[in-house]
Chain A
Amino acid sequence: MIIIGERVNATRKIIRTAIQDKDRSAIAAEIISQDRAGADYIDLNAGTGSGDTDQEKNDLCWLIDIALECTEKKLVLDAAGPEVLQHAASHLNNRRAWMLNSINGELEGSALAVIDLASEFQAPLIALAMDQDGIPSETERRIAICETITEAAERRGLDQELLFFDPLVLPVSTDVSQAMVTFKTIEGIKRRIPAAKTTLGLSNISYGLKKRTTINAAFLTVAICCGLFSAICDPDRGEIRRAIVLGELLAGRDRFCRKFSRAYREGLFGEA
């Protein structure tokens, strides 16, 4: 299971403030704690929503520099526009393994430019199962979008191995069938685009409810059992780590139950 640590994201107030105040140690602390908690990738997002592209470019490079200093983990360059991503990619200059986050099925100039960037560096790319009409509420439509993205990517020299599809999730609070739609989408992507990978942001599932981390964790466990390859989450949360360990155990992806027993010995499930 590949874990992408989600916390360095400027949509979070603590990160936005740290970016504005150029508070290095606050960012470093967020990175280091996710590193220690077992993240494979650290996501870096500097989009404060100001719409100032030059500012976002500088801020993302600043985040990259901090990450290069305080972790050995791989990095995810996370921005909405191709300009910021291109700038960040050339600043990073392959000093660390990395991937791009993200495009969706609205395949006009901007998304195509990001695909070209991924193709140029042969870097993995996260692609969302939605398009200009938003997130489809049915499985079939989401998978169809992923297939369209795959075709476009392959035409531009980016093999499906390098695509990480996020099947997306809508809140169960507004439509109780939505968790199952996501699970079936994960299975469908695996079946129809076999070499592509999947990743998943969790928190939308529990929007509008209580005990959100508990819901997110149960959702993640089942998603792993459906074949989920990677998750975008906060590995520093015990409930999330437990969900991953249990998902891999029940999915048959934990030979000799090693990961489970080690987590148990380390006290992840309480007193041994």
Chain B
Amino acid sequence: MNQESSLDRIRHSIVMGHVDENDEGFDGTMEGEPGTVDLVREALDVDVNPQEILNIFNESMEEVGKLFESGKYLLPDMLASAECVGNAMDILEPHLVGKQENQKGKFLIATVKGDLHDIGKNIVSTILKGAGYQVKDLGIDVSVNDIVAAVKEFKPDFLGLSALLTTTMTEMEAVIKKLKEAGINDVKVLIGGAPTSEEFALKIGADGYCRDALHAVAKLEQMQDALSGR
């Protein structure tokens, strides 16, 4: 198989959200076909450039994002595509060694102390993995100290904080304060969750507010561009 058709198949598989051979894909026609991970493995076997595969991941997820925003895709369709990329990334990553400049960066995410909501956080986490970020998820009900300790250890480029309650969103401010006290100022803090807002983000000194998962992807791209002066 030539390299171009191999990349096209990967793109189609991601857009269809075809995780593995048992999955029927968005249009219901793909059961029994090799999954995205298998296609990526095959492509690497025939020496397709890993960088080109990574580009296909990004292009495909952009396409999926558009399909979601247009209303054609529902949330689980987008999550299926993100899962394809997330799984395939594990296979691709070792082949990208030495090409660190292409990594989008590390993202640490948590739902703050006192808050047990995890649906939104999990969606953001899956979508960001699909968009090529290395994501570490600390879970729900995570204390300020645990978050700060994880930042020190994981050294993320971005920290995402989620809160769904007006009573717990104040924890976000405590995290930012504690990071400053600890002298950590090279991590960008993004917040999200129903009661939060742009104004709230400004008020507590966060670097950004994200309305939903796709907004988070866009926001991160903007920040990357600003950082690299593009």
Footprint of B on A, CB under 8 Å? 255-259, 261-262, 264
Interface string of B12-26 (1 = CB under 8 A from A): 000001000001111
In the bound complex, do residue B28 and residue A256 qualify as a contact, i.e. CB atoms below 8 Å apart?
no
Q: Which of A256, A257, A262 is packed against the most chain B CB atoms within 10 Å?
A: A256
B25: shortest Cβ distance to chain A, in Å? 8
The verdict on B74 contacting chain A, using a C-beta distance below 8 Å, is yes
Residues of chain B with a CB closer than 8 A to A256's CB: 17, 23, 76-77, 79-80
Residues of chain A with a CB closer than 8 A to B24's CB: 258
A255 to B24, CA, bound (A): 9
A6 to B221, CA, bound (A): 56
In the bound complex, do residue A262 and residue B79 qualify as a contact, i.e. CB atoms below 8 Å apart?
no
**Total A-B residue contacts, Cβ distance less than 8 Å:** 24
In the bound complex, do residue B28 and residue A257 qualify as a contact, i.e. CB atoms below 8 Å apart?
no
Residues of chain B with a CB closer than 8 A to A258's CB: 23-26, 28, 76-77, 80
In the bound complex, do residue A261 and residue B74 qualify as a contact, i.e. CB atoms below 8 Å apart?
yes
A255 to B30, CA, bound (A): 14
A253: shortest Cβ distance to chain B, in Å? 13
Closest to B75 in A: A257
Residues of chain B with a CB closer than 8 A to A259's CB: 28
Q: Which of B25, B74, B77, B80 is packed against the most chain A CB atoms within 10 Å?
A: B74
A-B contact pairs, 24 of them (CB 8 A): A255-B23, A256-B17, A256-B23, A256-B76, A256-B77, A256-B79, A256-B80, A257-B74, A257-B76, A258-B23, A258-B24, A258-B25, A258-B26, A258-B28, A258-B76, A258-B77, A258-B80, A259-B28, A261-B74, A261-B76, A261-B77, A262-B27, A262-B28, A264-B74
Closest to B23 in A: A255
A245: shortest Cβ distance to chain B, in Å? 12
A100 to B74, CA, bound (A): 41
A264 to B17, CA, bound (A): 18
Closest to A262 in B: B28
Residues of chain A with a CB closer than 8 A to B23's CB: 255-256, 258
A90: shortest Cβ distance to chain B, in Å? 33
B64-104, CB < 8 A from A: 74, 76-77, 79-80
A71 to B79, CA, bound (A): 37
A36: shortest Cβ distance to chain B, in Å? 15
